[in-house]
């Protein structure tokens, strides 16, 4: 059983933020910022590719509900929703989940957001974007 399935079954504890029949939200054990929350489906799916569309549709509404709840109760305005698929993307728990990350000025995600992508070498070379679009649309 994966670590998040163990949280669902009660085998390991979590600080629960929200729970219903199909979804559970709880505090991330290693928060990027205070209030960093994870939302998981109670059914085990490894990633975005695996979760059925109807469940994902319901889930995103819960993400919104929990995010708005957190902003009100924890008194912040800005937040990042993230979701990693596979180890190269930084996924460390193979049970599909969204992160809700409260954001603050000059927090540890700020460099990633604003600096890396602005340096010239990160831009597409002439023709590169067109090649990618060709593959996607083929
Ligand atoms: P990801 O790296 O996108 O797969 O996110 C997995 C997240 O789960 C990480 O941010 C971990 O800190 C968090 N995590 C791992 N184990 C637990 C746990 N037992 N309780 C709460 N959060 C956890
Ligand atoms: Zn699981």
* Domains of the chain in sequence order: 3-137 (3.30.428.10)
Ligand nearest the Cα atom of residue 93: 1
Going by pLDDT thresholds of 50, 70 and 90, the confidence category of residue 120 is low
pLDDT, residue 113, reads 64
**Alpha carbon 132 to chain centroid distance?**
26
Expressed in angstroms and rounded, the spacing between residue 28 Cα and the centre of ligand 1 is 6
Expressed in angstroms and rounded, the spacing between residue 45 Cα and the centre of ligand 1 is 15
Name residues whose C-beta falls within 8 Å of residue 33's C-beta, 6 or more positions apart in sequence. 101, 102, 103, 104, 107
Report which protein residue has its CA nearest ligand 1's atom 18.
29
74-96: buried (b, 16+ CB within 10 Å) or exposed (e) per residue?
eeeeebbeeebeeeeeebeebbb
Model confidence over 51-90: pLDDT tens digits?
999 999 999 999 999 999 999 999 999 999 999 999 999 9
Model confidence over 20-48: pLDDT tens digits?
999 999 999 999 999 999 999 999 999 99
Q: Compute the distance between CA of residue 27 and CA of residue 3 in angstroms, rounded to an integer.
A: 14
Q: Would you please indicate which residues are annotated as catalytic (active-site) residues? A: 97
Expressed in angstroms and rounded, the spacing between residue 53 Cα and the centre of ligand 1 is 24
Model confidence over 103-114: pLDDT tens digits?
999 898 887 766
Average pLDDT over residues 1-29: 98
pLDDT, residue 124, reads 85
> In this structure, what are the phi and psi dihedrals at residue 125, rounded to the nearest 5 degrees?
-75, 160
C-beta of 46 in contact with ligand 1 (< 6 A) = no
Q: Which of 3, 87, 101 to mutate to test the pocket of ligand 1 (most atoms within 8 A of CB)?
A: 3
The model's pTM is 0.93
């Amino acid at each position: 059983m994966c670590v998040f399935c163990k949280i669902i079954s009660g085998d390991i504890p979590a600080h629960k933020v929200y729970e219903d029949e199909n979804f559970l939200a709880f505090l991330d054990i290693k928060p990027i910022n205070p209030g960093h929350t994870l939302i998981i489906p109670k059914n085990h799916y490894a990633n975005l590719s695996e979760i059925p569309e109807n469940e994902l549709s319901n889930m995103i509404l819960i993400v919104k509900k929990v995010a708005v709840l957190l902003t009100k109760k924890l008194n912040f305005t800005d937040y990042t929703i993230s979701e990693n698929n596979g180890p190269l993307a930084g996924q460390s728990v193979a049970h599909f989940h969204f992160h809700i990350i409260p954001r603050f000025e000059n927090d540890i995600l700020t460099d990633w957001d604003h600096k890396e992508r602005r340096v010239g070498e990160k831009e597409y070379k002439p023709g590169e974007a067109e090649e990618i679009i060709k593959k996607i649309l083929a």
